[in-house]
Amino acid sequence: MLSNKSTQEIASALVDDVIKYIEEDSRYVDFMQEVIPDAVQSYLGDVDEDLKFELSLCIMDRICFRKSNF
Protein backbone atom coordinates (compact mmCIF):
# COMPACT_ATOMS: atom_id res chain seq x y z
CA MET A 1 0.00 0.00 0.00
CA LEU A 2 1.19 3.50 -0.80
CA SER A 3 1.76 6.18 1.77
CA ASN A 4 -0.72 9.03 2.01
CA LYS A 5 1.90 11.40 0.59
CA SER A 6 2.52 9.14 -2.42
CA THR A 7 -1.20 8.78 -3.05
CA GLN A 8 -1.64 12.56 -2.92
CA GLU A 9 1.27 13.11 -5.32
CA ILE A 10 -0.11 10.59 -7.83
CA ALA A 11 -3.54 12.21 -7.60
CA SER A 12 -2.00 15.63 -8.23
CA ALA A 13 -0.12 14.30 -11.24
CA LEU A 14 -3.27 12.72 -12.72
CA VAL A 15 -5.87 15.39 -12.05
CA ASP A 16 -5.46 17.37 -15.30
CA ASP A 17 -5.63 14.21 -17.40
CA VAL A 18 -8.66 12.91 -15.52
CA ILE A 19 -10.49 16.23 -15.95
CA LYS A 20 -9.77 16.14 -19.68
CA TYR A 21 -10.95 12.52 -19.84
CA ILE A 22 -14.24 13.37 -18.11
CA GLU A 23 -14.90 16.41 -20.28
CA GLU A 24 -14.33 14.35 -23.44
CA ASP A 25 -16.50 11.44 -22.31
CA SER A 26 -19.93 11.36 -23.95
CA ARG A 27 -21.51 10.30 -20.64
CA TYR A 28 -20.46 13.62 -19.15
CA VAL A 29 -22.03 15.51 -22.05
CA ASP A 30 -25.20 13.42 -21.85
CA PHE A 31 -25.43 14.02 -18.11
CA MET A 32 -24.95 17.76 -18.47
CA GLN A 33 -27.50 17.99 -21.28
CA GLU A 34 -30.04 16.23 -19.09
CA VAL A 35 -29.39 17.87 -15.74
CA ILE A 36 -28.80 21.51 -16.69
CA PRO A 37 -32.23 22.05 -18.32
CA ASP A 38 -33.80 20.47 -15.24
CA ALA A 39 -31.87 22.90 -13.04
CA VAL A 40 -32.90 25.86 -15.20
CA GLN A 41 -36.53 24.85 -14.93
CA SER A 42 -36.18 24.28 -11.21
CA TYR A 43 -34.96 27.85 -10.70
CA LEU A 44 -37.00 29.66 -13.35
CA GLY A 45 -40.14 27.55 -13.50
CA ASP A 46 -41.76 26.80 -16.82
CA VAL A 47 -39.97 28.70 -19.58
CA ASP A 48 -40.07 28.53 -23.34
CA GLU A 49 -38.25 25.39 -24.55
CA ASP A 50 -36.02 27.36 -26.90
CA LEU A 51 -35.00 29.72 -24.10
CA LYS A 52 -34.36 26.80 -21.75
CA PHE A 53 -32.20 25.16 -24.43
CA GLU A 54 -30.20 28.35 -25.08
CA LEU A 55 -29.72 29.03 -21.37
CA SER A 56 -28.65 25.43 -20.83
CA LEU A 57 -26.01 25.67 -23.58
CA CYS A 58 -24.69 28.94 -22.17
CA ILE A 59 -24.49 27.48 -18.68
CA MET A 60 -22.81 24.30 -19.90
CA ASP A 61 -20.17 26.42 -21.67
CA ARG A 62 -19.43 28.16 -18.38
CA ILE A 63 -19.03 25.01 -16.28
CA CYS A 64 -15.54 23.65 -15.94
CA PHE A 65 -13.62 21.44 -13.60
CA ARG A 66 -10.82 23.02 -11.69
CA LYS A 67 -8.05 21.69 -9.56
CA SER A 68 -8.08 22.24 -5.86
CA ASN A 69 -4.81 23.00 -4.11
CA PHE A 70 -4.68 20.33 -1.46
Residue 23 is predicted with a pLDDT of: 86
- pTM of the complete model beyond 0.95: no
DSSP character string of the chain: ---HHHHHHHHHHHHHHHHHHHHHSHHHHHHHHHHHHHHHHHHH-S--HHHHHHHHHHHHHH--------
Tens digit of each residue's pLDDT, the chain (70 residues)? 899 999 999 999 999 999 999 988 999 989 999 999 999 999 999 999 999 999 999 999 898 877 776 6
- pLDDT value, residue 70: 65
